[in-house]
Structure 1
């Protein structure tokens, strides 16, 4: 994910927007999926998102509920 000022000017006084930067052979699919999740969160969020990181070998039943992103060294869980 990426964060950038939503307009020109001193960045500390401006609103910011989240975006997605993806790399690799399936990057277009991943970027679209994460972008769709960001749009969904923006419209439906009842609270702030929570992202937790867990070792890659963590069993599903030991992780909190939420959307998971599995990477070689870590499993991320996103909830809101």
Structure 2
């Protein structure tokens, strides 16, 4: 087969840098943890808005505490 007849694939180009895109989670952090309210109120509002994410954070923190106590 001749090289001139083989189609070549080119990578699509994007105009935005994927490293600078914001995610919904960072937007939620910025929304719920900005302002002058007490940190407990900010955390409660975040937990109401994103219950699965806050549950995951609590689980990771609990594992960290358990591993710390286990190492004693």
Greater RCO, CA 8 A, separation 6+: 1
Q: Which has more helix, going by share of residues?
A: 2
Q: Which has more strand, going by share of residues?
A: 1
